[in-house]
Copies of this chain bind each other. A is one copy, B any other.
Amino acid sequence: MTRQPALQGVKEAAARIASVVPPTPLLPFETDQGRIWLKCENLQPIGAFKLRGAYHRLAALSAEERTKGVVAFSSGNHAQGVAWAARRLDMHAAIVMPSDAPKAKLGATLALGAEVIAYDREAESREEIAAALAKEREATLVPSFDDPWIVEGQGTAALEAISQMEELAGGPPDSTVICCGGGGLSAGSALALPDVPITIVEPEGWDDMARSLAGGVIVPVGDNPPPTRCDALQTIRVAPITFDILHRHGARGVAVTEGEVAAAMRAAFSQTSLVVEPGGAVALAAVLAGKVQPSERTLVTLSGGNVDPAVFAEIICG
């Protein structure tokens, strides 16, 4: 039977993850529209939330499955998450990564001991390469969002934020704004916060989840999507597992421009001394651009901070 992602699974994942990494900080951040609360997943050991789902998935494998290792494909943050979890659990991880992935992400994945297989983003299918490799090795394929354990694991960020927000702001989150690529983090958050309004945020031209939610059916990114610095959010099509959870939850989506993303990165740099990568800054960008109005206790994810120095330098000096 296929596992159904659920709140109970998020709680199981949270217990697993609490045993290996401390909660990420929840920091207050002042905006012209009022105070918001930043869930700093960029401060994870791998610089992004992805170790949450990866660890939950890998820890649930059987002893026999563990000996055969795992295969994943990712532009970088999921790659590091799987590599990190595999090292923790003493397993082999092979990661299929685009040859133009940020050097910071490639280097970090290698440093975590993973085997990296590069592919050409324009000419090859990472899904096919990964599937063939998994079959050949009898290894477990670990998708970056289309998987119940992954969704549950990513939801632990929002679950952690409940008690943090209660302690710091006197109550649980009453709205959330979440970065969205394939929807793992946002669908997991919907499981963790079943009664809290969710806005998911994507880069302009890559807002397929927003359009899917608005229309009630999955639509892919259009032909020739615009270039974006948000490499972590370049998902062509979301999956039923993430879409269904968000649709049932009543989530809505907004899109932000590259300029709005850069402004959010500058604000995080100068106001809170945080490095946020472009894809990790879209939720903050939506608030700062006035596209989402904060409520009394708004939870905003900073989902990652893995950005090449030259790109970061250009943006903060821009």
Give residues in A with beta carbon < 8 Å to B: 22, 25, 27-28, 30, 40, 42-43, 45, 47, 104, 168, 266, 269-276, 305-306, 309-310, 312-314, 316-317
The answer to whether A42 touches B273 (Cβ under 8 A) is: yes
Smallest Cβ distance from A186 to chain B, in angstroms?
Answer: 21
Chain B residues lying within 8 Å of A310, measured Cβ to Cβ, are: 317
A272 to B306, CA, bound (A): 9
Which of these, B28, B168, B312, contacts A316 with CB under 8 Å?
Answer: B312
Chain B residues lying within 8 Å of A305, measured Cβ to Cβ, are: 272-273
The answer to whether B28 touches A25 (Cβ under 8 A) is: no
Which of these, B25, B270, B306, B317, contacts A25 with CB under 8 Å?
Answer: B25
The answer to whether B317 touches A273 (Cβ under 8 A) is: no
Which of these, B45, B273, B276, B316, contacts A313 with CB under 8 Å?
Answer: B316
Smallest Cβ distance from A92 to chain B, in angstroms?
Answer: 22
Smallest Cβ distance from A169 to chain B, in angstroms?
Answer: 9
The answer to whether A168 touches B22 (Cβ under 8 A) is: yes
Closest B residue to A27 by beta carbon equals B43
Chain B residues lying within 8 Å of A271, measured Cβ to Cβ, are: 47
Chain B residues lying within 8 Å of A275, measured Cβ to Cβ, are: 269, 273-275
A61 to B21, CA, bound (A): 42
A18 to B114, CA, bound (A): 43
Chain B residues lying within 8 Å of A25, measured Cβ to Cβ, are: 25, 27, 40, 43
List 29 A-B pairs, Cβ < 8 Å.
A22-B27, A22-B28, A25-B27, A25-B40, A25-B43, A27-B43, A28-B45, A30-B45, A42-B273, A43-B273, A47-B272, A47-B273, A104-B270, A269-B312, A270-B309, A272-B305, A273-B274, A273-B275, A273-B276, A273-B306, A274-B274, A274-B275, A275-B275, A309-B316, A309-B317, A312-B316, A313-B313, A313-B314, A313-B316
Which of these, B22, B274, B306, contacts A43 with CB under 8 Å?
Answer: B274
Chain B residues lying within 8 Å of A104, measured Cβ to Cβ, are: 270
Chain B residues lying within 8 Å of A273, measured Cβ to Cβ, are: 42-43, 47, 274-276, 305-306
- Extra A-B contacts (9), CB below 8 Å, given A28-B45, A272-B305, A274-B275: A22-B27, A47-B273, A273-B305, A275-B275, A309-B316, A312-B316, A313-B313, A313-B316, A313-B317
